[in-house]
Amino acid sequence: MNVYINSTGHYLPGPPIDNDEIEDILGLVNGKKSRLKHKILQSNGIKTRHYAINQQQETQISNSEMAAHAGIKCLDASYISPHQIEMLSVATSQGDLVLPGFGSMVQAELDIPSVELQTSHGICSSSMMALKSAYTNIKAQESANALVIASELASRLFKHTRYEQVEGNEIDFNAEFLRWMLSDGAGALLLENQPRKTGKSLRIDWIKSFSHADVYPVCMSVGMPKNATKSWQDFPTYSEAEQAGALLLRQDVRLLDNIVSVGVNGFLKLLQDGMFKVPEIDHVLCHFSSAYFKSKIVEMLEVAGVQIPEKKWYTNLYERGNTGCASIFIMLDEFLATQDLSVGETLFCMVPESGRFNCAYMHLTVVE
């Protein structure tokens, strides 16, 4: 039983925001411009991104609404209606509510009845986990189709008022770093057990992932204060957790370079296992959070003797920003809209995640 990506869609909230406008949206922490912003933006290479909050830091569209918009765009480009969807598999780093699951909220927005539901919670690779669940469900002939959606609304975590609640107003680099890295958006894929009736489809040849949480400490998190291991839920009150900085999104930048070796080692393992041949890769879609990491990945592959020419790499990071788990779906949708693919061409997709170092991979072939 083969599984095909027959339709894609994405949604980005509001207008594109350039680097000079970021603090107009997120606000100045304690009324002061950031001294780190320029340095971090120079490294990541992002020129524009989208936010679901306005200049008053008011949410203009919820995470579940963004997910639904992406899902509707995906279905509008397909041959089936929402009521025909048999499985809904959804991913996000943080939904609008702590409970219930994000999938339930998205199902309600889409008004899909009696669907098999799956919510994948994590960081960047959670979209690939949601996709793998839908893929295996169809492979097992449990469903004939599945709508897979990944959506992120990170900007709510970056309001200046969040940082101003920290006791002593001391914002460490690890807490500020991601403020200049992440943005909002949603992407969706429609999977079916047969190719499209007309046009081209992408056959999913395989999806694999390798987690290294047994080896590495936490690198990216929400819920832990600086230099502590206890959860935000262990504080006597929510306000005390906030004052300790436990509710800020943190990235331990000292560990971050490990994501490159983790990603490349997984690539080499799949190559050694005979899952693909490097010369037969026509396109590479790699989710990387920064231009800095792309160059490191390319360098390490060259050292390993498995060069992939620059012309085969595709990214929309610089125009769309880093939208976390939604990034790979948004990237795939824009890639398909802008490329004239031929039957038989192959796509190699790679999604490294720095949460506690998980990396997911996918191989696709264009079919008619």
Q: What is the pLDDT of residues 25-77, one digit of tens each?
A: 999 999 999 999 999 999 999 999 999 999 999 999 999 999 999 999 999 99
Span 85-119, pLDDT tens digits: 999 999 999 999 999 999 999 999 999 999 999 99
Distance CA 327, CA 10 (A): 10
Joined together, the tokens standing for residue 239 give: 């306000």
If you compute the radius of gyration of the chain from its CA atoms, what whole number of angstroms results?
A: 20
Phi, psi of 39 (to 5 degrees): -60, -45
Label residue 261 exposed, middle or buried (CB < 10 Å: 0-12, 13-18, 19+). Answer: middle
**Which distant-in-sequence residues (6+ apart) come within 8 Å of 216 by Cβ?**
255, 258, 356, 357
pLDDT at residue number 303: 86
Residue 304 in this model has a pLDDT that exceeds 90 = no
Query: What's the mean pLDDT when you consider all of the chain?
Result: 95
Joined together, the tokens standing for residue 83 give: 């009521």
**Which distant-in-sequence residues (6+ apart) come within 8 Å of 114 by Cβ?**
none
Are the C-beta atoms of 6 and 189 separated by less than 8 Å? no
Joined together, the tokens standing for residue 313 give: 């790499």
pLDDT at residue number 263: 94
First-to-last alpha carbon distance for the chain, in angstroms, is 16
Report which secondary-structure segment, H or E, holds 353: strand 346-353
Q: CATH number of 4-192: 3.20.20.140, 3.30.450.40, 3.40.47.10, 3.30.930.10?
A: 3.40.47.10
Span 118-165, pLDDT tens digits: 999 999 999 999 999 999 999 999 999 999 999 999 999 999 999 999
pLDDT at residue number 229: 81
Distance CA 229, CA 145 (A): 42
Among 338, 348, 336, 337, smallest CA distance to 287 is for 348
Question: Secondary structure of 56-114 in the HEC alphabet?
Answer: CCCECCCHHHHHHHHHHHHHHCCCCCHHHCCEEEEEECCCCCCCCCHHHHHHHHHCCCC
Question: Is the pTM of the predicted complex or chain greater than 0.95?
Answer: yes
Span 312-330, pLDDT tens digits: 999 999 999 999 999 999 9
